[in-house]
Structure 1
Amino acid sequence: MALQKDAGEDSAMRLRRLRYRAWHRGTKEMDLLLGPYADARLATMDGAELDRFETLLEEADTDLLKWLMGQEPTPEDADHDLLADLLRFRTAK
């Protein structure tokens, strides 16, 4: 599914929107995985990295959780580098 970006959205608004989406996923487990990561990393991401994170947020919580917990193999077309960075971030605490 192609993402539609609001042409009038400035970078600060985009960061707030992505942070909100990371913290309000629908499952508490994903809130706690994606929210702190967004807090720590979004401000330093460039446009391409923000696009990748936004694409990741389009995935279903159940799928993301299974991939991050190693319960299911990550699909080939998933962003393996971003998922690995999420895991490193969580285990570094």
Structure 2
Amino acid sequence: MTQAETQPDAAETRLKRLRFRAWHRGIKEMDIILGSFADKELAGLGADDLDRFEALLEVPDTQLYNWVSGREPVEDAHDHDLFRRICAFEDLSSRI
């Protein structure tokens, strides 16, 4: 096998890295919310939405949880369709 054949595809590596980060947040509620979403939806996202998801992973857990739960308004930079999809994903209230 050549080195190229043994190297994982860059896109697949990115998805695996994002999925891992989504499941290893620090606050269990955010693990469940983002990890579950990542498991079912990441592979179908386009490059722009993957960038948005990655940016959301940079937001501190408590702040992101407050946005998702509606306790605080989401910052304009993260108020986009992907964020709303995450919030609506399989009725989050039953997950946390």
RMSD of Structure 2 on Structure 1 (CA): 1.7
Q: How many residues align structurally?
A: 85
Query: Which amino acid in structure 2 is aligned with residue 32 of structure 1?
Result: I
Same amino acid, percent of matched pairs: 48
SS at match of 2:78: coil
Bigger radius of gyration = 2
Is 1:83–2:83 an aligned residue pair? yes
- TM-superposed deviation, 1:87: 1.4
The runs of 5 or more residues in structure 2 that have no matched partner are: 1-8
Stretches of 4+ moved more than 3 A in 1?
none
The runs of 5 or more residues in structure 1 that have no matched partner are: 1-8
The answer for the alignment partner of 1:56 in structure 2 is 56
Alignment partners' CA distance in 1, 2:90 and 2:64: 14
Is 1:66–2:79 an aligned residue pair? no
TM-score by length of 2: 0.81
Greater helix proportion:
2
Q: Is the CA contact 1:56–1:79 (under 8 Å) kept in the aligned structure 2?
A: no
- TM-superposed deviation, 1:76: 1.9
Q: Is the CA contact 2:52–2:78 (under 8 Å) kept in the aligned structure 1?
A: no
TM-score by length of 1: 0.83
Alignment partners' CA distance in 2, 1:34 and 1:89: 10
